[in-house]
Chains A and B, each alone.
Chain A
Amino acid sequence: MIDCDIHHVIADQADFLSYMDTAQREWFQTRGDLGLPGYPWSHPFGFANDEGLLEPGYAPGALERISREALDAYGADIGILHANDASTVSLMASPYRAAAFARAHNDWVREQWLDGEPRLRGSILCPAQDPLAAAREIQRAAGTDDRFVEVLLCAGSERPYGEPRYLPIFEAAAECGLQVAIHTSGEGMGIAAPGGGVGPHTFYIEWHTVGSATSVMSHLVSLICNGIFERLPTLKVMLLEGGVAWLPGLLWRLDTNWRALRAEVPWLERRPSEIMRDHVRFSTQPLEHTDGHDSLLFEMLEAAGAPDILCFASDYPHWDWDDPKFVINRLPKAWRHKVMHENAAAFYGDKLGLVTA
């Protein structure tokens, strides 16, 4: 089993800052939040799932807990590590601070996480607000360790990621043989564009229902329309935590619009939905609860390309994480192996270092 979304946290800021460029360390040290943009909403009882926290001192998402609770407990072969709040580094006002943060974070991940647990694989943070600097950091970090399997971008952004300004990021990823993960987070925060086009949400429940989904939809449509997959045929993108039940409807709209409006994007010679199937994967978590209509959900997802487009993700240790056993039991039997393992193994390829039987 491959878990495509395990979050780790910076529990010990002093330890993290020991990896920081010494000339910039004081700036980060004097900020309780390490200079990262904060959420305007607060989860009513806590973002991390702390129930069952028996050992004080082990923060949620700490290495020992990940090994035991996310990997051992479910017999996971591989877990892909994603930064938690730190993924919003690309929304800091200063691209120079962001570049230093990303560099420190990548080195910290390599030594403190990947060296400590052989089943974990890393994702590279980059200062996406400065795409050329981001590309340099991707190349540097990828050169330090083969256990980095992808670039992590947060879905909060200044503009949709298909915009040509971001091309150096995707080119660097493709050159390094890395895939790109876009994970919901940061919408409307820091220098990000307001989410959804209607102004800021009032509540966390609103962001978690629409803010985290519409950002992912926008990136998906932007990447396809700008022809990023025509430019970079080997590139694949994983979209995480934006939900999936909306996907068939979005693709039906996009394909219909492409027939009439293709003069705007004449480099798309195939239906957008076909391009999506070849290049984009979606995390299962949070798999929508359907009030007894699971068969309808799976029938619709099949129309969008499932099971091949779905990869299991637990989102450990967040409050709405999906227990692998719960997801397996919901999935149609014929989908289970593909979603829980095969699709992610194909997405990351040899980079995972899986020994094939």
Chain B
Amino acid sequence: MREWHDVASLEKVVRDGRAIVRVGGREIGVLVDPSDGSLKALRNRCPHVGSPLCLGTLRTRESGTPGAYSLEEGKVLRCPHHGWEFDLVSGVCLDDPGMRVAVYDVKVLEGRVHVLA
């Protein structure tokens, strides 16, 4: 059963761009999406080999036709160790759809960040 957990001050998360917090036995990363200022929360463990996924980069994923590059809609999180990219909403690894990372709802109450985990 998931519960809301008060994990960090909004001021600190916004200042640092992210916060790595601990809820129960799990590490969770709260990240600020620079494109719209929204907060995202994912488990800080890449399902590939356990790397600290939430230290990675929020970015726009490339697509295209042979020889021509374009950008996809939306942001993905790129693992800092091996570069695998994860959808921020579903947590699915776009480079290996058999893998997925847990994603959590986030809300802000009176200057504090809460995560449903």
B66: chain A residues at CB < 8 Å are: 226-228, 230-231, 267
Partner pick for B84 among A227, A260, A267, CB 8 A cutoff: A260
Q: Answer whether residue B65 sits at the interface, using C-beta atoms and an 8 A cutoff.
A: yes
Question: Which A residues, 262 to 279, have Cβ-Cβ distances below 8 Å to chain B?
Answer: 262-263, 266-267
Question: Separation in Å of the B23 CB from the closest CB of chain A?
Answer: 29
Check if A266 sits within 8 Å of B63, measured CB to CB. yes
B64 at the interface (CB under 8 A from A): yes
Smallest Cβ distance from A90 to chain B, in angstroms?
Answer: 23
The answer to whether A266 and B69 have CB atoms under 8 Å apart is yes
**Cβ-closest chain B residue relative to A263:** B62
Which of A164, A226, A258, A266 has most B Cβ within 10 Å?
A: A266
Binding site of A, secondary structure by majority: helix, strand, loop or mixed?
helix
Most buried by A among B61, B63, B66, B68: B66
Selected A-B contacts with CB under 8 Å, 30 pairs: A164-B67, A226-B66, A226-B67, A227-B65, A227-B66, A227-B67, A228-B66, A230-B65, A230-B66, A231-B66, A258-B95, A259-B84, A259-B95, A259-B96, A260-B83, A260-B95, A261-B83, A262-B62, A262-B95, A263-B61, A263-B62, A266-B62, A266-B63, A266-B64, A266-B69, A267-B63, A267-B65, A267-B66, A267-B67, A267-B68
A259-B82, A259-B95, A260-B84 known; 15 new pairs, CB 8 Å cut-off, are A226-B66, A227-B65, A227-B66, A258-B95, A259-B84, A259-B96, A260-B82, A260-B95, A262-B95, A266-B61, A266-B62, A266-B64, A267-B63, A267-B64, A267-B65
